[in-house]
Chains A and B, each alone.
Chain A
Amino acid sequence: MVNRKRALWMGATLLLVAALGLRFTLAKDEVPGWLNKGENWPAQKQKLQAYGERFKTSWDLYQSLRQAAGAAKGPDWARMAEPAFDWSGVYTRSGGGLEFDPDLKGPLPPTTARLTPAGQAVVDRKTDQIKRTGGEYDPLSDCRPPGVPRWFSEPFLHEFIVTPKQTWLINEMVNDVRRVYTDGREHTPEADAYPLTNGDTIGFWDGDTLVTHTRDLMAGQYQRGVQPDFSEQTQIVERWHKVDARTVQADVWVFDPVNLKAPWYTRQSWTKLTNDDSALRLRYWDCRENSNNAITKKGDGTSEFETFDFEKSPKR
Chain B
Amino acid sequence: MTKRSILALVGALALGAVAIPAGAHHSAAMFDPAKEVALTGVVKEFQYTNPHSWLLVDVKNKDGSVTTWGFEAEGPSTLLRAGIHRGDFAPGTAIAIKGSPHRDGRPAAAWISATRLSDKKDFNPRAGFAIR
**Could you list which residues of chain A lie within 8 angstroms of chain B, going by C-beta atoms?**
92, 94-98, 105, 133-138, 140-141, 143, 154-157, 172-173, 224, 271, 273-274, 279-280, 282-283, 285-287, 289-290, 292-293, 295, 302-305, 308, 310-311, 313-314
Contact = CB atoms under 8 A, between A and B. Distances in A.
A293 B106 contact: no
Contacts of B76: 283
Interface residues of B, number: 36
Q: Which 7 A-B pairs have the closest CB atoms?
A: A135-B29, A97-B19, A141-B26, A290-B49, A310-B68, A303-B27, A295-B26
Nearest to A97: B19
Given A97-B20, A285-B50, A310 B56 contact: yes
Nearest to A271: B131
A270 to B, nearest CB: 10
A157 B77 contact: yes
B108 A305 contact: yes
Contacts of B113: none
B29 A290 contact: no
Given A95-B19, A96-B19, A280-B77, 18 more contacts: A98-B21, A133-B29, A135-B27, A135-B30, A138-B25, A138-B26, A138-B27, A141-B26, A155-B20, A273-B81, A273-B131, A285-B51, A290-B52, A292-B52, A293-B49, A303-B26, A305-B30, A305-B106
Contacts of B47: 290, 292, 313-314
Interface of B: 19-21, 24-27, 29-30, 44-45, 47, 49-52, 54, 56, 68-70, 72, 75-78, 80-81, 102, 104, 106-108, 129, 131-132
A136 B51 contact: no
Contact of B50 (A105, A279, A289, A304): A289
Contacts of A311: 68
A283 B77 contact: yes
A313 B53 CA distance: 12
B130 to A, nearest CB: 10
Nearest to B131: A271
A234 B26 CA distance: 24
Nearest to B85: A279
A304 B30 contact: yes
